[in-house]
Structure 1
Amino acid sequence: MESESPQPPPAALGTGAVARRLGVSPTTLRSWERRYAIGPARRDEGRHRRWSPADIARLELMCRLTAQGVPPSEAARVARGAAPGPAPESPGAEPGAAREPGGPRALRLGDVRPECRGLARAAVRLDAPAVEDLLAAALAELGAVTAWEEVIAPTLHAVGRKWASAGERYIEVEHLLSWCVSSALHRIRPVPERLPAPPLLLACAPGEQHSLPMEALAAALGERALPVRMFGAALPAEALHDAVRRTGPRAVVLWSQSRTTADVALARSVAGIEWGPRGARGRSALLLAGPGWGGGPQPPYTERLFGLRSGLAVIESVAAGRIPANAAGRVAPAACGS
């Protein structure tokens, strides 16, 4: 009988890939190797580090222990002595909690990209430099839309679920992560506008402080060389009216996170604004974004946006004139995605 062919050894990863997976910076991994002798067993030619699954398992255990407050030197000693395979659970942890780095503090993410898990781990540790590095890498490699939908938003939602179920705990994680996300989105340089065109005006409803989705939209529109005027959180109603009249935007995107800030009367008044000189008056499309608007009746000349990617398709159509501004409210719901 022919002998079974040997199984190929598991692929080893480079330092950058391991750092993204664990939610630490490559500098941190090199520092741990230098200070605590918790490095890879293998190096390729040119001194490139290659981390095996057993190496990564030890690093995961060290990340979990340091997230629980264990000093790095002690965490490294425990990790070095751990046998390859599933990492042991920490004393007092719930059964199965060790399956997620951070033990009982871990964020439950489900089936997500490795970059998302790394970002969550760094956020729980309040490791701001690592969070910043991971966000910068995700935005550079994936672009604003994919990075937001598949890395940033799932992590933010997981943090929100965590602190909502844990009283006042973990709010510091959400605040740090939100700040880093906002900073990373603001660092994206927009592509220069191709031709002069009416801008797209982005604002949050009066009293609405949750502006990160609008910041992600502004970054994505900038990547597409579309002119944007971003007014951020809680723009007063009168200021919104003035901004529409002064800029003559092709479209206005108004964000509302909760029903308490979704003012239908305001939407109706903004949709009815006309601007420009007599005889050449114009009107902007009003696009309502965010869960606060619910499923109730929409004011005339308005449209709902659902999700960043599908919403971008509608905005690009309006900006290109494929959907006239005065007909935006008659766009079929399927045009906005789900």
Structure 2
Amino acid sequence: MNDVPTDSETLTVSAVARRLGIAAPTLRSWERRYGLSPSARSAGGHRRYSPQDLARFHAMLKLVNSGVPTAEAASTVRDRIYTARSPNVTSATSDAEGTPAQDHAVRRAPRNRPRSADPADLFQLANAMDGERLTHEIARSLDRSGAVEAWTSRLVPLLVGVGDQWERTGECVEVEHLATEAVVSGLRYHTRRAVERHKPDETGRPVVLACLELEDHALPLLAVAAALAERGVRVQTLGAATPINSLSAAVRRIRPAAVFIWSSAPRTADVESLQSLARTRPSYSLVVGGPGWQALGRPDGWVGSLADAVEALVTAAHR
């Protein structure tokens, strides 16, 4: 029988929320709606989360970061056994299979960088409707941490938090819209700065980023573009809802090294269009990401995270 962790081995709701970069009410709502309960209670009946609980939440956010809906991500991680270090470890992460892991792109990030805004602070700025400061803090996070780490550790938790707040209350749509616009503005600003700093080779073949015709959610493409700009890769972003004929025509004209197609849901993941696109010449690497493709069996070229997408596209661009 497993020992019940003591208070010194566990974290409070507010402490876990700070580690994850979400609001404490969001954490409580995940328990109520998805069954993600803490492993222990204090003598006074307060929630206490173990290192394993913390690892489970990190795994859930990693899935959400890859585009998996929150409810599905919660269902995936809920009953798995996670191993983790002491809750005093500030950078604990784990993958969706229950084993400790850290994204290799994040692992390469330089150490001892100054800490940028805590995700919980971003959530508070969004709720204060301080769009100017929120955009500034997002841009600062991207500059200090890099696109992959900032997206995973700060921006996705922010977007999850404001989205969950809306689902929980039916209110605060304006907060969600403001946060989304701030993320968009921050990513675009960071991309421009990265292009100026790293000066992509204008003679190299670019990477094309797009969504198929039914996909309206193109925000992840901006994160990919920002990360590629940091690596000195030229990018052409076509954005959301691109008809397959138009996308194929663009590929023939641009002659890219790779094409990345994002899909947030099965209804936007058109396999027939993907197969048609794959036949477009000249040849290039076709990379797909998002839960839409995952639900359809993970076709060739599927990647499960922002870091994996960036690595696949950088490899193709430098081939």
Q: Give how far 1:298 is off.
A: 5.3
Question: d(CA) in 1 for partners of 2:162 and 2:292?
Answer: 20
1:165 is aligned to 168
2:285 is aligned to 285
1:244 is aligned to 251
Question: d(CA) in 1 for partners of 2:264 and 2:298?
Answer: 16
- Residue of 127, 134, 138 corresponding to 1:124: 127
**Which letter does structure 2 place at the counterpart of 1:162?**
Q
Please, which runs of 5 or more residues in structure 1 have no aligned partner?
Answer: 1-20, 24-94, 97-108, 276-282, 322-338
Please show how residues 88-107 of structure 1 align to structure 2 within 5 Å. Answer: none
1:209 is aligned to 216
Question: d(CA) in 2 for partners of 1:125 and 1:249?
Answer: 43
Q: Does residue 270 of the first structure (1) align with residue 280 of the second (2)?
A: no
Q: Does residue 221 of the first structure (1) align with residue 243 of the second (2)?
A: no
Aligned length: 208
Question: d(CA) in 2 for partners of 1:132 and 1:316?
Answer: 28
Q: 1:252 touches 1:286 (CA, 8 Å); kept in 2? A: yes
Q: How far does the alpha carbon of each residue in 1:40-99 deviate from its partner, in whole angstroms, 9 at most, with x for none?
A: xxxxxxxxxxxxxxxxxxxxxxxxxxxxxxxxxxxxxxxxxxxxxxxxxxxxxxx99xxx
TM-score, normalization by structure 1: 0.57
Please show how residues 59-98 of structure 1 align to structure 2 within 5 Å. Answer: none
2:183 is aligned to 181
Larger CA Rg, structure 1 vs 2: 1
Q: Give how far 1:194 is off.
A: 3.3
Q: Give how far 1:228 is off.
A: 0.6
2:153 is aligned to 150
The 1:243/1:195 distance shift into structure 2, 3 A limit, reads: closer
Question: d(CA) in 1 for partners of 2:310 and 2:215?
Answer: 21
Q: 1:115 touches 1:134 (CA, 8 Å); kept in 2? A: no
Question: d(CA) in 2 for partners of 1:298 and 1:266?
Answer: 15
Question: d(CA) in 2 for partners of 1:114 and 1:179?
Answer: 18
**Which letter does structure 2 place at the counterpart of 1:178?**
T
Q: 1:202 touches 1:231 (CA, 8 Å); kept in 2? A: yes
**Which letter does structure 2 place at the counterpart of 1:272?**
R
1:296 is aligned to 296
Question: d(CA) in 2 for partners of 1:137 and 1:297?
Answer: 38
Question: d(CA) in 2 for partners of 1:177 and 1:273?
Answer: 37
Larger relative helix fraction: 2
TM-score, normalization by structure 2: 0.60
- Residue of 296, 305, 328 corresponding to 2:303: 305
Q: Give how far 1:166 is off.
A: 2.3
Q: Give how far 1:296 is off.
A: 3.0
The 1:295/1:257 distance shift into structure 2, 3 A limit, reads: closer
Question: d(CA) in 1 for partners of 2:316 and 2:257?
Answer: 7
**Which letter does structure 2 place at the counterpart of 1:198?**
R
Question: d(CA) in 1 for partners of 2:267 and 2:295?
Answer: 14
**Which letter does structure 1 place at the counterpart of 2:140?**
A
Q: 2:117 touches 2:141 (CA, 8 Å); kept in 1? A: no
The 1:231/1:133 distance shift into structure 2, 3 A limit, reads: same
Question: d(CA) in 2 for partners of 1:272 and 1:123?
Answer: 44
1:31 is aligned to none
- Residue of 235, 258, 272 corresponding to 2:242: 235
**Which letter does structure 2 place at the counterpart of 1:147?**
A
The 1:174/1:129 distance shift into structure 2, 3 A limit, reads: same
**Which letter does structure 1 place at the counterpart of 2:273?**
L
Please, which runs of 5 or more residues in structure 2 have no aligned partner?
Answer: 1-18, 22-44, 47-60, 62-89, 92-115
**Which letter does structure 2 place at the counterpart of 1:192?**
K
Displacement over 6 Å in runs of 4+: none
State the secondary structure of the residue aligned to 1:187: helix
Taking only aligned residues, the RMSD between alpha carbons, in angstroms, comes to: 2.7
Question: d(CA) in 2 for partners of 1:147 and 1:298?
Answer: 26
**Which letter does structure 1 place at the counterpart of 2:308?**
S
Q: How far does the alpha carbon of each residue in 1:126-167 deviate from its partner, in whole angstroms, 9 at most, with x for none?
A: 111221121121112111111111110111112222222223
Question: Which gives a bigger RCO, structure 1 or 2 (Cα 8 Å, sep 6+)?
Answer: 2
Q: Give how far 1:210 is off.
A: 1.1
Q: 1:202 touches 1:230 (CA, 8 Å); kept in 2? A: yes
Question: d(CA) in 1 for partners of 2:169 and 2:284?
Answer: 44
Question: d(CA) in 2 for partners of 1:291 and 1:250?
Answer: 24
Q: 1:200 touches 1:249 (CA, 8 Å); kept in 2? A: yes
State, as a whole percentage, how many aligned pairs show the same letter.
35
Question: d(CA) in 2 for partners of 1:186 and 1:227?
Answer: 14
The 1:131/1:216 distance shift into structure 2, 3 A limit, reads: same
Q: Give how far 1:171 is off.
A: 1.9
